[in-house]
Amino acid sequence: MSSPPAATTLDVATVRKEFALLTGERDGHPVTYLDSAASSQRPARVLDAMRSYEETTHANVHRGVYRVAEEATRRFEAARVAAGRFVGAPVPDREVVFTKNATEGINLVAHTWGKRNLGRGDAVVLTEMEHHANVVPWLMLAEERGLELRWIPVDDDGLLVLDDLDRLVDGAKLVGVTAMSNVLGTLNPLAEISAVAHAAGAVVVADGAQSVPHVPTDVTALGCDFLAFSAHKMLGPTGIGVLWGREELLADLPPFLGGGEMILDVRKDGFTPNDIPWRFEAGTPPIVEAIGLHAAVDYLDELGMAAVRAHEIDLTAYALGVLSDRFGDELTIHGPADAVRRGGVISFTHRDIHPHDLSQVLDQYGVCIRAGHHCAKPLMRRLGVTATARASFGPYNDHADVDRLADALAEAARFFA
Amino acid sequence: MSSPPAATTLDVATVRKEFALLTGERDGHPVTYLDSAASSQRPARVLDAMRSYEETTHANVHRGVYRVAEEATRRFEAARVAAGRFVGAPVPDREVVFTKNATEGINLVAHTWGKRNLGRGDAVVLTEMEHHANVVPWLMLAEERGLELRWIPVDDDGLLVLDDLDRLVDGAKLVGVTAMSNVLGTLNPLAEISAVAHAAGAVVVADGAQSVPHVPTDVTALGCDFLAFSAHKMLGPTGIGVLWGREELLADLPPFLGGGEMILDVRKDGFTPNDIPWRFEAGTPPIVEAIGLHAAVDYLDELGMAAVRAHEIDLTAYALGVLSDRFGDELTIHGPADAVRRGGVISFTHRDIHPHDLSQVLDQYGVCIRAGHHCAKPLMRRLGVTATARASFGPYNDHADVDRLADALAEAARFFA
Amino acid sequence: MAGLEDLYREIILDHYRSPRNRGELPSPPAHRVEGFNPLCGDEIVVSLQVEGDVLTDIKIGGSGCSISQSSASLMSAAVKGKPVEEVRELIGTFKAMMSIHEATLPRDSDGDEVDPSLDATPVDVDALGELAALQGVVKFPVRIKCATLSWNTLAQGLDEVGAG
Amino acid sequence: MAGLEDLYREIILDHYRSPRNRGELPSPPAHRVEGFNPLCGDEIVVSLQVEGDVLTDIKIGGSGCSISQSSASLMSAAVKGKPVEEVRELIGTFKAMMSIHEATLPRDSDGDEVDPSLDATPVDVDALGELAALQGVVKFPVRIKCATLSWNTLAQGLDEVGAG
Ligand SMILES: Cc1ncc(COP(=O)(O)O)c(C=O)c1O
Ligand SMILES: Cc1ncc(COP(=O)(O)O)c(C=O)c1O
């Protein structure tokens, strides 16, 4: 493609220039955005690509024969291929389903693969660190169909306990596992888990919402059967996500939602579903959002995912060091101690200050962190907390951001002392 | 609100200036965009509002306590209220569910209301002019549950035959009807149909995808129970739609998709759903798209929907006149002859030229029309065609666009003669 | 910009550090009701004992931020031993104090706030006593749900036992 | 910009106006198979009769645009009476002529087309005879599905009868 060769290190100062919110200030404080795990910012080039599409090329896709519509369709389908290539999809034009977000992707698997293959008494294995997006769809299906849910436990270092994996997946039909925890940062050994799951005859639904934006991803190496992720966490827009699925599996699935685009024919007494991937895309898809996602993955490719990852390891290691040096026992940091075993997400709790209050005070200093259960209530119960504070990084964050976080934490401690 | 009082007529020349694609040209021809029924263009102010949100306010919603996130949440929820008010929702903050498009809205009703209330042998009444979005979800449910589908016929003028409505809805549980046909342009008497349906104890699911962008809408006056529509057909972005539902009905429904946002609590053995409308919005919603939709409805309010409608009646009447004057029997125009009974959508077939070829030739002259089944195959069968050509208008089209359409049609006739 | 002092008044921090009426009542005879704030994970458990027309006892469990906890503590002190009717009134007054901002304010699409005073109902803040300390919360709209969590939970509890 | 003449060659318009092998064969013994183009609603019904290794008869039903109808007509004339193996080869050659554009071309995110010649397989256009008139379709990517509809339907029919 047209991208220059990927850099090996990130020039954060240059990267940052493309993010308007981060170069601004609020009430005299620079904006220290440390909530990219919830949603990233988007660079000017992504916004420009979307605007340019709107101004020169917009029409509905897969419908018109006039050139504007044809061009819109081609750019939309090119975005599909680009999104697929970004995660190493072997057949990107057929294996990438555009959804509205990662959550819908997992629900799509539950509604199609799940409804076809899961019945009373069948077991689904999840981990205790799953985001609600990879829990609630299975709880709903379990309630409807009488499934058994089993849980891979999390140890005190925030790692999955895999000693018993053989037994846990024995007889199971599906394993749902996040590639990276949005609370602990933990990077899970997907390839190992997939191998065990496949040996037991189970399919693997991987939640890539956190990993795909931050870690080089190759679905073949991960070994999973489905992978869901969201554009808005990877420098792309809201309103679009991706479900990647192995071609043989997708090809066999019934449709999900019904409407235009997903059919070949409709009669009063029935319909003929379309080929994959359109079979799963009912109605007008997120077109300009696909254009934005395409620009985002091109940008990430240009930065180089290896460089993005190296940068985040550096930043995470730095943050772990600064926080424990400056706050010692006052702060409990959840998740693996080694930055290499985790992505750029750090959850912590303060001995005396509730995360909600912490976040409120930090905000007065322009520091944006998340406080709450992070849509991972089963994990919160496992950790014995109702909420944590969480700082998370994007390719635009640097050491100065971490220092401002630590300074603001010190102010909060002073205020609540 | 802050909008100036609505104008009573549309200043099309001024309106048009905000639409970049329409002021450009292709190969020496001005772009004559006559496919707004498929997807409209967006004015600069909508794109500007989205960009400004991205550059100053973006964070995920309903999660953060820092001010950027709080502001994002407020603007997102304000968009909900604005979208609701635009269609006269009595309780806009609770009755408006953001979906990815109109299609998802109807599927949501099928999956929640339908699954709770429809069982073997229950009857669902549809019209022969429904878009696939209001057909396929019911076909899927019919297949799964053994429902009976009944059809309100279409007469030769493209109007619904309502003489037998009492009998058709007798014992039915649900009536699905489009407020405006995307093929014939027909505006259906929703209030009358709703009254008969309600008397029979059926709920009414109205498809507003075509009507909401073009006709002043008041859900209370329409009398329906659900109304689905899409932002991308009403000067807003792709990636977002609205399902309006009556509060009492929505409040009783089970969730749709599972994940973050739609829950109050998640345990390993179950979950507690959130209040409406969030119960139906799993995962990160289309945030910037909601901002865009808000700007679009503000703009439409500023233009005045009465003025938009008056403009379209004028344009439709003009087009019907020009086409029959210039082409006589060569063209068959489908749908009601009276512009007041229809929206700005004109389907036609040429005696000698297939719609697909027609559209191809017109495109050489910069005229963008749609050719095909328009996702309404049951209606195509009723009309005895496999495809029609369709020209459809937005507030930016004028008489000159119609003249260019007619000129290009004359060229096509010459080429294929 | 509103300062932290507007939010974290002394009384609030005091009730946060030393919550009143902490614990649970044996149920039955008491009634137990849970409230969640899905935004931040705060949980409140209200145990209430209604005898005749009077809320004779109340205890607060659960955990959360300073605002939700202090609001619950202040509430428990204010309602304990009061006639149910008076409690309902107080709930109404407290929620009115918070309500200007509890619903999303209408805004135009530029994000400019539409004048909130239009919707404001006059609130008898004097009637709230110590509770008035929570007034500053309205300047931090995202925390209003923290402040009202225990009150909504109590109201639900009263409904469930059919009191008042 | 490619002109209309590139698309609508004389042979194409001729086959459109006077389609060859129009109709249906009695089935059984013939095999009947339907194809749809969901984009535009074109429908093709191919009736085929395979005896031994030979496609002894073929008829075309359905309706659609000039490209889909003329392609089906040209196809029927080209394959009728031919050994199944040869028919399969011809299908391959025809689809190769169309295939540069049938799959979505990779593009970078600015929408610039990546050089299509990279993917092009050399096609023996001479072997196609009259069918080569459809070559101009590749300049109008959206019409490629019209041109290939009957060919895909025929291929499916051959698969279904287990021929070749
Ligand atoms: C009448 C009607 N209903 C539903 C739809 C579906 O809208 P969307 O594709 O945005 O879901 C459309 C547009 O395609 C339509 O015209
Ligand atoms: C691990 C994980 N999975 C799934 C999701 C859901 O993503 P979305 O809300 O975009 O559907 C998130 C983010 O919220 C996440 O962190």
What pLDDT sits at residue A191?
A: 98
What pLDDT sits at residue D115?
A: 40
Q: What is the pLDDT along chain C (164 residues), one digit of tens a residue?
A: 567 888 898 899 999 999 999 999 998 899 999 998 877 778 899 999 999 999 999 999 998 899 999 999 999 999 999 999 999 999 999 999 987 544 444 334 444 444 444 444 567 777 788 898 898 898 888 889 899 999 999 999 999 988 76
Neighbours of B108 (CB within 10 A): 26
Among B249, B283, B302, the domain boundary falls at B302
Are residues A137 and A254 located together in one domain of the fold?
A: yes
Give the gap in angstroms from C-alpha B301 to the nearest C-alpha of chain A.
22
Q: How far is CA A27 from the centre of its chain?
A: 32
Q: Where are the domains of chain C?
A: 4-160
User: Which ipTM score applies to this complex?
Assistant: 0.90
In this structure, the residue with its CA closest to atom 14 of ligand 1 is B38
| Opening angle at CA D46, ends D43 and D51, nearest 5 | 170
What DSSP designation does B112 have? I
* Contact (CB, 8 A) for C83 and A405: no
Indicate whether B339 belongs to any domain.
yes
CA separation for the pair B129, B152 (Å, rounded): 9
Residue B416 has pLDDT above 60, yes or no: yes
Indicate whether A2 belongs to any domain.
no
Are residues B25 and B56 located together in one domain of the fold?
A: no
Is B283's C-beta closer than 6 angstroms to any atom of ligand 2? yes
Cα-based distances in Å from A34 to A232, A391, A398: 15, 5, 10
Is A210's C-beta closer than 6 angstroms to any atom of ligand 2? yes
Residue D101 has pLDDT above 70, yes or no: no
What pLDDT sits at residue C112?
A: 46
pLDDT in tens, A132-150: 999 999 999 999 999 999 9
A75 at the D interface (CB within 8 A)?
A: yes
In C, which residues are within 8 Å of A415 by CB distance?
A: 4, 8
Q: In which residue ranges of chain A is pLDDT below 70? A: 1-8
Residue D123 has pLDDT above 90, yes or no: no
pLDDT in tens, A277-304: 999 999 999 999 999 999 999 999 999 9
CA separation for the pair A183, A332 (Å, rounded): 13
pLDDT in tens, B210-261: 999 999 999 999 999 999 999 999 999 999 999 999 999 999 999 999 999 8
pLDDT in tens, B129-168: 999 999 999 999 999 999 999 999 999 999 999 999 999 9
φ, ψ for residue B176, nearest 5 deg = -110, 125
Are residues B232 and B325 located together in one domain of the fold?
A: no
- What CATH number did the domain enclosing A222 receive? 3.40.640.10
- β-pairing, A270-273 vs A148-152, is unpaired
Are residues A216 and A295 located together in one domain of the fold?
A: yes
What pLDDT sits at residue B316?
A: 98
Question: In the predicted model, what is the mean pLDDT of chain D?
Answer: 84
What DSSP designation does D126 have? G
Q: Say whether B93 and C103 touch across the interface (CB within 8 A).
A: yes
A364 at the C interface (CB within 8 A)?
A: yes
Is A101's C-beta closer than 6 angstroms to any atom of ligand 2? yes
The tokens of B55 are what?
Answer: 């550059």
Give the gap in angstroms from C-alpha A69 to the nearest C-alpha of chain D.
9
What pLDDT sits at residue D100?
A: 54
Are residues B100 and B212 located together in one domain of the fold?
A: yes
Give the closest ligand to the alpha carbon of residue A392: 2
DSSP readout, C96-146? HHHHHHHSPPPB-TT-PBP-GGGTPPP--GGGGGGGGGGGGGGGSGGGHHH
Is A40's C-beta closer than 6 angstroms to any atom of ligand 2? no
Question: In the predicted model, what is the mean pLDDT of chain B?
Answer: 95
Calculate mean pLDDT across residues B73-84: 97
Give the gap in angstroms from C-alpha D81 to the nearest C-alpha of chain B.
30
Q: Do chains D and C touch (3 or more CB pairs under 8 A)?
A: no
- Choose among C149, D117, D151: nearest CA to A356: C149
Sign of CA dihedral A214, A219, A224, A228: positive
What pLDDT sits at residue C120?
A: 47
In A, which residues are within 8 Å of C3 by CB distance?
A: 364
| Opening angle at CA A139, ends A138 and A141, nearest 5 | 60
Among B302, B319, B341, the domain boundary falls at B302
Rounded percentage of chain B residues whose pLDDT exceeds 90:
94
Calculate mean pLDDT across residues B295-309: 98
* Contact (CB, 8 A) for C114 and C108: yes
Closest CB from C39, C111, C141 relative to B75:
C111
Indicate whether B4 belongs to any domain.
no
Which H helix or E strand runs over A327?
helix A305-327
Are residues B288 and B152 located together in one domain of the fold?
A: yes
What pLDDT sits at residue A362?
A: 96
CA separation for the pair D71, B337 (Å, rounded): 37
Residue D124 has pLDDT above 80, yes or no: no
CA separation for the pair A393, A312 (Å, rounded): 7
Closest CB from A357, A364, A372 relative to C41:
A372
Task: Using the mean position of ligand 1's atoms as its centre, give its distance from the Cα of residue B179 in Å.
Answer: 12
Are residues A190 and A290 located together in one domain of the fold?
A: yes
Instruction: Tell me yes or no: is domain C4-160 CATH 3.90.1010.10.
Output: yes
B375 is catalytic: yes
Among A302, A332, A367, the domain boundary falls at A302
What pLDDT sits at residue D109?
A: 46
Task: Using the mean position of ligand 2's atoms as its centre, give its distance from the Cα of residue A398 in Å.
Answer: 24
What pLDDT sits at residue D114?
A: 41
CA separation for the pair D65, D62 (Å, rounded): 10
pLDDT in tens, D17-41: 999 999 999 988 999 999 988 777 7
Using the structure block, give the residue that is written with the tokens 């199609």. Answer: A112
Indicate whether B115 belongs to any domain.
yes
- Choose among B405, C2, B286: nearest CA to A100: B286
**Beta bridge partner(s), residue B332:** B349
ω into A273 cis (within 30 of 0): no
Residue A274, by phi and psi: left (phi above 0), alpha (psi -120 to 50) or beta? Answer: beta
Cα-based distances in Å from C71 to A166, C66, C97, C140, C151: 49, 8, 13, 15, 8
**Beta bridge partner(s), residue A96:** A244
Q: Say whether C104 and B77 touch across the interface (CB within 8 A).
A: yes
Cα-based distances in Å from B366 to A68, B69, B268, B401, B409: 9, 44, 59, 10, 12
Indicate whether A3 belongs to any domain.
no
Are residues B122 and B233 located together in one domain of the fold?
A: yes
- β-pairing, B123-127 vs B172-178, is parallel
Are residues A279 and A328 located together in one domain of the fold?
A: no
**Weakest mean pLDDT among B39-53, B83-97, D32-46:** D32-46
Give the gap in angstroms from C-alpha C120 to the nearest C-alpha of chain A.
26
Question: In the predicted model, what is the mean pLDDT of chain A?
Answer: 95
Task: Using the mean position of ligand 2's atoms as its centre, give its distance from the Cα of residue A39 in Å.
Answer: 9
Tell me the best of B99, B104, B233, B392 to mutate to test the pocket of ligand 1, counting ligand atoms within 8 Å of each CB and taking the most.
B233
* Contact (CB, 8 A) for A211 and A343: yes
Q: Say whether B274 and C38 touch across the interface (CB within 8 A).
A: yes
What pLDDT sits at residue D154?
A: 97
What pLDDT sits at residue D121?
A: 55
Are residues B309 and B287 located together in one domain of the fold?
A: no
Q: Say whether C4 and A354 touch across the interface (CB within 8 A).
A: no
Query: How many domains does one find in chain B?
Result: 2
Is B254's C-beta closer than 6 angstroms to any atom of ligand 2? no
The tokens of B158 are what?
Answer: 């493209």
Radius of gyration of chain D (CA): 16
What pLDDT sits at residue B7?
A: 53
Indicate whether B1 belongs to any domain.
no
What is the identity of the amino acid at B377? Answer: K
Sheet bearing A172-178, strands edge to edge = A96-99, A241-245, A226-230, A203-207, A172-178, A123-127, A148-152
Cβ neighbours of residue D24 under 8 Å, at least 6 residues apart? Answer: D30, D32, D45, D47, D59, D61
Chain D interface test: which of A74, A95, A235, A264 (most D C-beta within 10 Å):
A74
With 0.90 as the threshold, say if the pTM is over it.
Answer: yes
Domain that holds residue B314: 12-43+304-416
Are residues A384 and A279 located together in one domain of the fold?
A: no
What pLDDT sits at residue B300?
A: 98
CA separation for the pair A405, A26 (Å, rounded): 15
